[in-house]
Amino acid sequence: MASYQVLVQNLRDKFNQGVLSSIESRKEQLQAFHKLVSENQDALCEAMWKDLHKPKIEGLTHETDFLLGEISETISNLKSWTSPTKVTRYILQAADAAYIQKDPLGVVLIIGAWNFPVRLLLGPIIGAIAAGNTVVVKPSELSVATSELIAELIPKYLSEDVIKVVQGGAKETTELLRERFDHIFYTGNPAVGKIVMRAAAEYLTPVTLELGGKNPVIIDKDADLQTVARRIVWGKCANAGQICVTGDYVLNLHPKRDELVKYLSEAIIEFYGANQKESPDYGRIINERHFDRVSELLETTKGKIAYGGEKDRDSKYIQPTVLVDVKLDDILLKDEIFGPILPIVDMETIEQAIDYIKSKEKPLALYMFSQNSSRIDKVVKNTSSGAVCINDLIMHMSLGTLPFGGVGNSGMGRYHGKFTFDTFTHEKSVLHRAAGLEKLLFMRYPPHNENKLTWTRRFIAKLKVPF
């Protein structure tokens, strides 16, 4: 605990001394960050393979390439993002200057997740450094190989005056959370998110919580089932289903459910072969504890397995599994599955699907496959979720101009692209008043009278300055 106090205080001292006060110093660190990722892509992918059996192409496209693009975009836009923003003035401020100053927050803590152990840990760091903060970063202890590699690489590329890595498990994280930070960014599950928020409350520290939830997939009655199946299998089986924004369960309105199951099975075999265990493109569950949790769901559900169901604890393998005849009170619909299990619930009407979604905690993402714009609009307007993606899974995350974040139980705050910069920035209001023109302010000073009230009302009316 004493060492954490020293670590945080040293970073605070460096922040107060202006280690990242200039745009040039921030760019220098971001360029070094780009080199860290670009020069170690193979090593990072190898570590993710050890932790999750993650295929190299997924490691590149889902994690490292995403980071490289975001770092480059941030460097290119850093000057405009950090520049003061002028705001509208009215007659009362005609002779004044009014703008928003972009200030860094101070020392921030970023706690990463194990399912995307590179992207979800390093992504927030980009905006934190761009905004001028010093950073304590805590990798997940569950993704052992990746966490150790990142802890080794960061000091080699980035200044220790700017960023420090803390490793460890729940005990170390608990002790770290006793320290005072100026912002905490946590990616994980709601249960730990509540712990982080309680710790942050001690110092009134703002938090960004990127959590998860049971993301519904609505299949409308007019959907092209073959296309739907391929896109669902891609989104559900990537990373062995261990994705916070993947589809958690299907609410099926299509009358040809058996045809849907057939196409889902065919897509699984097309993507991963008849024996998915032998596929180099299919991942594994992170550890035995999570394997046992997901296995218990399969053993407890009253749904009928329509495809899959095989598992092997020694290799932490769970086959892509599709279930039908799943009832609304089934164990599979209680908590987030976070594994390659897809329960299908049959529904009669779009209203029934909407009512069910609204009866649950707000999801991180909601998906709908439909060609009917009015029904799509009805779902979008009558449900609440972190994001909505129509006719695909997960792809909303690929567009950096869309903010990513949850709502309610699925999280708070947002990031990606400029939104990450904004998360770690305080927008300070600045009004620079003219020193003269005192006589024009006669109406605001006592003693008050009707004449002064008339003039005051004229001046406070929302009449914009014409220049």
Pick the closest to residue 242 from 191, 281, 272, 285 (CA basis): 285
Under 8 Å between Cβ of 178 and 199: yes
Pick the closest to residue 180 from 358, 11, 61 (CA basis): 11
Q: What would the pLDDT profile of 346-373 be if each residue is shown by its tens digit?
A: 999 999 999 999 999 999 999 999 999 9
Q: What is the pLDDT of residue 465?
A: 61
Is 141 a known active-site residue? no
Both tokens assigned to 115: 């399912």
Domain ranges across the chain: 2-211+414-426, 216-405
pTM exceeds cut of 0.85 = yes
107 phi and psi angles, rounded to 5 deg: -100, 125
The one catalytic residue in 45, 179, 237, 244 is 244
Is 175 a known active-site residue? no
Pick the closest to residue 225 from 263, 253, 258 (CA basis): 263
**If DSSP codes are grouped into helix, strand and coil, which group holds residue 51?**
helix
Rounded CA separation 143/243 (Å): 14
Both tokens assigned to 455: 């003039």
Rounded CA separation 94/319 (Å): 68
| Domain 2-211+414-426, second-level architecture | 3-Layer(aba) Sandwich (3.40)
Within 8 A by CB and 6+ apart from 41, the residues are 59, 60, 64
pLDDT beneath 50: ranges in the chain = none
Q: What is the pLDDT of residue 466?
A: 56
Pick the closest to residue 414 from 127, 136, 81 (CA basis): 127
The one catalytic residue in 210, 237, 336, 389 is 210
Pick the closest to residue 294 from 284, 306, 304 (CA basis): 284
Beta strands in 71-206 (DSSP E): 85-86, 97-104, 107-111, 134-138, 163-165, 183-187
Q: What is the pLDDT of residue 463?
A: 65
Q: Which residues pair with 345 in a beta bridge?
A: 251
Tell me, yes or no, if the two domains 2-211+414-426 and 216-405 fold the same way: no
CA 282 vs. chain centroid, Å, equals 23
Q: What is the pLDDT of residue 457?
A: 85
Write down how long the chain is. Answer: 467
Rounded CA separation 332/302 (Å): 9
With residue 72 as reference, give the H or E element that holds it. helix 65-82
Query: What is the 8-class DSSP label of residue 417?
Result: T
DSSP track, 186-220: EES-HHHHHHHHHHHHTTT--EEEE-----EEEE-
Pick the closest to residue 335 from 230, 125, 190, 439 (CA basis): 190
The stretches of 252-388 forming alpha helices (DSSP H) are 257-272, 288-300, 350-359, 373-382
Amino acid occupying residue 227: T
CATH number among 3.30.1150.10, 3.40.50.720, 2.30.22.10, 3.40.309.10, domain 216-405? 3.40.309.10
Rounded CA separation 215/246 (Å): 7
Under 8 Å between Cβ of 229 and 258: no
